[in-house]
Amino acid sequence: MRITKTVSFIFQFATIGLAAAFVILYLYPTLKSNNDVPEIVEFHESTRPALPAQTGPVSYATAVKLAAPAVVNIHTTKVVTERNSLFDDPFFQEFFGDSFGVPRKRLQTSLGSGVIISPQGYLLTNNHVIAGADEIQVALRDGRSAKATIVGTDPDTDLAILHMKMDNVPVITLGHSENLQVGDVVLAIGNPFGVGQTVTSGIVSAKGRSMLGISTFENFIQTDAAINPGNSGGALINALGELVGINTAIFSKSGGSHGIGFAIPLSLAKDVMTQIIQYGHVVRGWMGIALQDVNEKLAKSFDLDTTDAVIVTNVIRKGPADNAGLTRGDVITHINDKPVTSTHTALNLISQENPGTKIRVKGLRDGKSKTWTVDVVQRPKQDISKIGN
């Protein structure tokens, strides 16, 4: 009997011990035997040797010395006619007639920046800097100044070409904006707030920015180099002092720099400049349609299996697209066999075609495949005024 009790006691003790051990191992897994195989954590470590303490220049003074002399201040003047709205009141007109309501004229001035890109005296700037100006005065860093005339403008890219007559003008070296990478150092040179030539530094924050509502054809370099009112038309240079962009606008709710600025890449500006000097205007194809991007909701309603397309929202009567049979609600997926993923892509593909050429447009109408052949024409001048800085 005593043996049975003893065995029962040992069994109960062992059971309690095993339960306690299980609880302890559950709460403290590190107490497991070293014989257990641990989980292997993988890391991707750099194989590059350690970099020296200083990996870049301590100054960009050399780059600024090369580029800054070719960056100019632009002063514009235009005559503004004003009439006091008080004199339009019938009460005043009854007693005083029109003698007191004679419009008055005053001079309105504004400031901007520009870049000398040719020893012949050609300058690049923004269209909104000189739009509506009756007189344009260019001031160089060396103290010289001269009047400038407008060679041509392109509101669709917010660019303008000016010309001034002056000997021995400093000229900026043109770089290659297409080689820029996100993270590259860039410097903005201009005349912010009219305080005089100023240099700010930053990096390329992004490339190919579009859909910003700044201009029709957008392909901006985004930078955190401070761009403020008055910097418009100034130079964005790389660390070697080469021009890579034309400063154009800022993203700001207060009017000051928030570290998001936009510049027109030199590759685009150079093409516009060359065409304006050669032809007096930019040669672009035009179809006469308005387009809209396809989102998931629209794709579902049009029974599309992709959002890589655009929808025709309007067609200019008797325009190229109208003559080709395109109509509102048509879906465009390809232009000259190149996929159309957005309105930005479509506009670029159309504008790259020379007027007088035929382009093939593929798409859908009522869910069925359709192809149109469109005779593109010269894009008409757009009388648009954009607010920059």
Q: Give the residue numbers marked as catalytic.
A: 128, 158, 232
Q: In the block, which residue shows the tokens 């928030």? A: 258
Structure tokens at 271: 């093409």
Separation CA 66–CA 130 (nearest Å): 26
For residue 379, how many C-alpha atoms fall within 13 Å in the half-sphere facing its CB? 22
Query: What's the Cα-to-Cα distance from 361 to each of 68, 191, 214, 341, 350, rounded to whole Å?
Result: 47, 46, 28, 14, 10
Can you tell me the distance from the alpha carbon of 210 to that of 158, in angstroms, rounded to the nearest whole number?
14
Residue recorded with tokens 């000259």: 336
- Residue with tokens 């040179």, as numbered in its chain: 189
The pair of structure tokens assigned to 311 is 């929808």
Residue ranges of the alpha helices (H) in 189-316? 266-279, 296-301
Q: Are 261 and 188 contacting, i.e. CB atoms less than 8 angstroms apart?
A: yes
| The two three-digit tokens of residue 368, written as one number | 């069925």
Distance between CA atoms of 43 and 387, rounded to whole angstroms? Answer: 50
**Quick one: which H or E segment has residue 246?**
strand 243-250
